[in-house]
Amino acid sequence: MIKTSWVGGANAPEADFPLNNLPYGVFSRAGEGLRCGVAIGDFVADLAVLETAGLLEVSGFTAPVLNGFMARGKAAWAAARARLAELFAQAGDPVLRDNAALREAVLIPRSDVTMHMPFAVAGYTDFYAGRHHAENVGTMFRGAENALPPNWLSIPIGYNGRASTVVVSGTEIRRPLGQIKPPDAELPVFSPTKRLDIELEFGAVLGQGTEMGAPLTVAEADELIFGYVLLNDWSARDIQAWEYQPLGPFQAKVFATSISPWVVTREALEPFRVAAPKRARPLLPYLREPGPMLYDVQLEVHMRAAGQEQDTVISRTNTRELYYSAAQQLAHHAIGGCKMSVGDLLGSGTISGPEKDSRGSLLEITWGGKEPLTLSGGVERRFIEDGDTLTLTGFAQGDGYRIGFGNCVGTISPAPALRPEWIE
Q: What digits encode the pLDDT tens for the residues 186-207?
A: 999 999 999 999 999 999 999 9
Sheet with 114-116: strands ordered across? 107-109, 43-46, 35-40, 24-28, 114-116
pLDDT, position 142: 87
In whole angstroms, what is the distance from residue 230 CA to residue 405 CA?
A: 7
pLDDT, position 109: 98
Selecting among 132, 133, 302, 333, the annotated active-site residue is: 133
pLDDT, position 245: 86
Over residues 396-408, the mean pLDDT reads 97
Given a cut of 80, whether residue 424 has pLDDT beyond it is: no
Over residues 283-292, the mean pLDDT reads 97
Over residues 351-358, the mean pLDDT reads 97
Over residues 213-225, the mean pLDDT reads 97
pLDDT, position 135: 96
Which of the four pLDDT bands, split at 50, 70 and 90, describes residue 335?
A: very high
Active site residue 332: no
Given a cut of 90, whether residue 382 has pLDDT beyond it is: yes
Q: Which residues contact 26 (CB under 8 A, 6 or more apart)?
A: 34, 35, 36, 37, 64, 65, 66, 115, 116, 117, 118, 119, 261
In whole angstroms, what is the distance from residue 100 CA to residue 106 CA?
A: 10
pLDDT, position 103: 97
In whole angstroms, what is the distance from residue 205 CA to residue 326 CA?
A: 9
CA 168 to each of CA 119, 231, 262, 291, 343: distance values in angstroms, whole numbers, following the listed order: 10, 10, 10, 32, 14
Domains and CATH numbers, the chain: 24-116 (2.30.30.230), 124-416 (3.90.850.10)
Task: Provide DSSP, 291-334.
Answer: S--EE--EEEEEEE-TT-S--EEEEEEEGGGBSS-HHHHHHHHH
Q: How many alpha carbons fall within 13 Å on the CB side of residue 15?
A: 23
Which of the four pLDDT bands, split at 50, 70 and 90, describes residue 422?
A: confident
Q: How many alpha carbons fall within 13 Å on the CB side of residue 14?
A: 0
pTM for the predicted model, two decimal places: 0.97
Q: Are strands 389-397 and 380-381 parallel, antiparallel or unpaired?
A: unpaired
